[in-house]
Structures are given as C-alpha cells and as structure tokens.
C-alpha cells in the first residue's frame, strides 16, 4: 500500500519501497517492543510540541503522506483521491513547517494547541532487511485550541517504516489513513 501511494507522489518518488513480509511479530519480540516504545516516545514528543527534536527522528529521505480519503463503492478498488493529500511532505517541507512554528507568523498555533496522541493496535512486521521494520498503529489525536471552541479529534491508521540508522530507529515513511472523508478540524497545523 505505502509504496504505491509514495510512487504516485512527486515528493515520495525518492522514498524507500521496503515492504513488510510475513505475519506480524509476536508482542514479546524485542523488535516489536523497540518499535512500540519508539511510537510512544514520538507521541510524547509531538504532544510536548518538541518539533525540532522530532525532526531528528526522521530520515533524510522520509515521505510523510496523508492522502485525501473518498467514499466509494465496495468494488471500486480505491479509497483515496489520486494525487490529492492533506500532507505530502519530505524532510525539507517538514523542516520548513517546524521553522515556521518558531516565528511570530505561526498564527494557527499561537497560542499553541493542547494535543494528546493516543496510540493502540500496534503491529510490527519484519522486512527483507534487518535494518527496517514496518509498524501499523491506530492513533486518535485530541486537539484543543483556546477557551471557546470544542476540542476536535482525528482518528487514523498509520503505516510507518522505521529504519535503523547508527543504532537508532528513525522514521523513513509514514502513510496516514484518516477515518473521515471530510476533515472537521479547523486546520491541520499539527503532525500525526
């Protein structure tokens, strides 16, 4: 799934095509435990809005994609709008977004949102190489802004490719599949 979506994107053309192999790893497998811990630590970092540190967790060839979901008939064979995405980013574009948060021009995040990433259903898969893992998870993001608006939620599934670089796991690809076809959040100036 991920490789195909990355191949359709100009920014994803350089992304790794490594795919999972076989069944999910047992929950007590050390690789699964490492991947799960990585996701939990990343969620904490995103909740704390430690975006500069978060950039240090992603590879130079990362592809970060959240395609637009569409509702189609059962046999249509697709559920995303080809060539359309809420996020379709590489490391450069992610770093520009982070840099903007640090300026006085980040009006969508001033005052900053209150965020809470909830992770569940984590499944880890081996690949053809020992230095890559594919990790599926479900995430629920709660976001609150100011004092007068109701909080908002984004529910999504994610497929991540983690790569071992110099003894550290890093994010090499993320495909986010939101559960809503219409996003109800005021803006998407956050990371999932």
For the stretch 132-178, pLDDT in tens is 999 999 999 998 876 767 888 899 999 999 999 999 999 999 999 99
How many angstroms separate the CA atoms of 100 and 135, rounded? Answer: 29
Pairing of strands 168-178, 58-69: parallel
Kindly state the average pLDDT of the residues 72-101.
75
Domains and CATH numbers, the chain: 2-178 (3.10.450.50)
Half-sphere exposure of 149 (CA within 13 A, CB side): 13
Judged against a pLDDT cut of 70, whether residue 93 lies above it is answered with yes
Closest CA to 20 of 153, 127, 168, 169: 127
Query: How much is the average pLDDT of 66-92?
Result: 70
Predicted confidence at residue 2, as pLDDT, reads 46
Residue 1 has pLDDT above 50, yes or no: no
For residue 106, is pLDDT > 80?
A: no
Q: How many CB atoms lie within 10 A of CB 80?
A: 21
User: How many Å apart are CA 63 and CA 190, to the nearest integer?
Assistant: 16
Residue-wise pLDDT tens digits, 19-76: 889 999 999 999 999 999 999 999 999 999 999 999 999 999 999 998 877 666 566 5
pLDDT: is 117 or 148 the higher one? 117
pLDDT value, residue 3: 47
Kindly state the tokens that stand for 18.
Answer: 């490594």
User: What does the pLDDT read at residue 75?
Assistant: 67
Considering the entire predicted model, what is its pTM?
A: 0.85
Contact call for residues 139 and 158 (beta carbons, < 8 A): yes
Residue 78 pLDDT exceeds 90: no
């Amino acid at each position: 799934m991920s490789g195909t979506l990355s191949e359709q994107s100009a920014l994803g053309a350089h992304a790794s095509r490594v795919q999972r192999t076989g069944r999910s790893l047992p929950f007590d497998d050390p690789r699964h435990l490492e991947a799960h811990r990585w996701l939990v630590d990343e969620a904490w970092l995103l909740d704390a809005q430690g975006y500069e540190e978060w950039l240090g967790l992603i590879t130079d060839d990362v592809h970060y994609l959240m395609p637009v979901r569409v509702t189609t008939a059962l046999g249509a064979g697709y559920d995303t709008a080809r060539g359309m995405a809420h996020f379709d980013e590489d490391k450069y574009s992610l770093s520009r977004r982070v840099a903007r948060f640090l300026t006085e021009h980040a009006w969508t995040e001033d005052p900053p949102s209150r965020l809470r990433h909830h992770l569940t259903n984590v499944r880890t898969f081996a690949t053809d190489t020992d230095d890559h893992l594919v990790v599926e998870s479900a995430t629920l993001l709660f976001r609150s802004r100011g004092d007068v608006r109701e909080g908002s939620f984004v529910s999504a599934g994610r497929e991540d490719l983690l790569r071992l670089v110099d003894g550290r796991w890093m994010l090499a690809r993320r495909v986010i599949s939101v559960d809503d076809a219409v996003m109800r959040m005021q803006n998407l100036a956050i990371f999932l």
